Amino acid sequence: MITILAGTNRPHSRARRIADYYRALLTELGADSHILDLAELPVDFITTALYANVGTHPEFNRLATMLDASDKVVIVVPEYNASFPGVLKAFIDGLTYPGGIQGKKVALVGLSSGGQGGLLAMAHLTDVLMYLGTTVLPQRVRLPFINQDLNAEHGLNHDLSRQLLREQAAALLAF
């Protein structure tokens, strides 16, 4: 099972739409996957599921268990203020330590409305993931100008974006 993590808690996010697209790709390639959408996080999880409260919040634990059930993870990470969303860091911080995401193989898909396609977000997140003992697939996909690439049918307008995601998904399965 592969977990596709939509890396923001913004409702109806572009990250979620890309996660849906990626899941369809994995299905075409014969892989089982599910989506973990941070929009489903409890609104109070920072005070009720972190630090001394790790493991005590049933709704947070449900999401953490989805991640636990996978040996491979795809993180669709939007770029927020030259980094990745704070809610993603808080979610990672709420996972058991050591453990949580340790030992997993992770593929990163960055997206932004600007021209870098989430490059800075993926660089920062890669540092965190490697510190926590994950193996990050070197083939990171950047989706720049996502507002123009993502269409209303949850598809991508640019052939190159579709090709890069397909190649990454195949590489993740072989990883």
Domain 2-174: top CATH class: alpha beta
Q: What is the pLDDT of residue 4?
A: 98
Contact present, 3 and 36 (Cβ < 8 Å): yes
Beta bridge partners of 35: 4
Q: Please give the Cα distance from 46 to 86 (Å, whole number).
A: 11
CB atoms within 10 A of CB 55: 11
Beta strands 135-136 and 141-143, pairing class: unpaired
Q: What is the pLDDT of residue 97?
A: 82
* Residue 87 banded pLDDT, cuts 50, 70, 90: very high
Q: What is the pLDDT of residue 51?
A: 84
Give the tens place of pLDDT for each residue, 17-35.
Answer: 999 999 999 999 999 999 9
